[in-house]
Amino acid sequence: MKESIEMFLSAEERLAIKKKVREAEALTSGEIVVMAVGASSNYPAAIMAASGSIALVLAVTGALVLRNENLWLFLMLFALFFIVANEVVKRISMLKRLFISRNEITEEVEEAAMKAFYIRKVNETRDRTGILLYISLFEHSVRVLGDSGINSKVSPQAWQEVVDTITRGIGDKRQGEAICAAVTLCGELLQRHFPRKADDRNELGDAMIIG
């Protein structure tokens, strides 16, 4: 998982994102957290379904090639192919993805983003102005979650603009630049409604989180 994120964003790009977060937060009392994960779920049901389907096809093919209708031979072949297929599917994400519905992906990403929002304490800033930019690579999904303070000031369309900025950048193979641009947009929204206070302090870390 960490390796896939390091391929998605270079060390220089992650450092640029950290600097952009620091710059944005210098003008506001709000907090911005950027997090990228390899996947929002392991999707165990999809792994089982894919492994079972592959094993069934191979076991039937094996029985036909051997011209043997013995049930115990078929079950032995199925079990053997299932074990092998299970390991293959775990390593080849495209096979697993064929057995995952769009609705399941949406639910898993939203649940994982919400869980990260609380685990990373984005909801615990003084003025409830934390923003989480959550990027899930396997699902090709981006979520932006704002705490109640900033959410009460910002329309859903504004958050969608942030999401679109990242997704367009990923599509154009300039994800580092796009995430930096999204951070700037969040900073502008925060500055407009929650300018920096004299006693402001950095409540959350600036470095990008690899989850």
Q: Kindly write down the DSSP assignment for every residue of 45-67, as one continuous string.
A: HHHHHHHHHHHHHHHHHHHHHHT
Count CB atoms within 10 A of the CB of residue 134: 28
Count CB atoms within 10 A of the CB of residue 144: 23
Look at residue 7 in the predicted model and tell me its pLDDT: 84
Look at residue 92 in the predicted model and tell me its pLDDT: 87
CA distance 159 to 153: 11
For domain 2-41+101-210, give its CATH number from 3.10.310.50, 3.40.50.300, 3.40.50.1220, 3.30.460.80. 3.10.310.50
CA distance 134 to 143: 5
For residue range 161-187, list pLDDT tens digits in order. Answer: 999 999 999 999 999 999 999 999 999
SS3 76: helix
Q: What residue spans define the domains of the chain?
A: 2-41+101-210, 44-97
Give the N- to C-terminal CA distance of the chain in Å, as an integer.
Answer: 8
Which residue positions in the chain have pLDDT lower than 70? 1-3
Look at residue 133 in the predicted model and tell me its pLDDT: 98
Decide the pairing of beta strands 130-136 and 141-146: antiparallel
Question: Which helix (H) or strand (E) covers residue 2, if one does?
Answer: helix 2-8
With contact defined as beta carbons under 8 Å apart, do 117 and 131 qualify? no
Look at residue 1 in the predicted model and tell me its pLDDT: 54
Question: Which helix (H) or strand (E) covers residue 210, if one does?
Answer: strand 209-210
Question: Which helix (H) or strand (E) covers residue 33, if one does?
Answer: strand 31-37
Look at residue 39 in the predicted model and tell me its pLDDT: 93
SS (HEC) of 8-31: HCCHHHHHHHHHHHHHHHCCECCE
Look at residue 135 in the predicted model and tell me its pLDDT: 96
Question: Which helix (H) or strand (E) covers residue 109, if one does?
Answer: helix 102-119
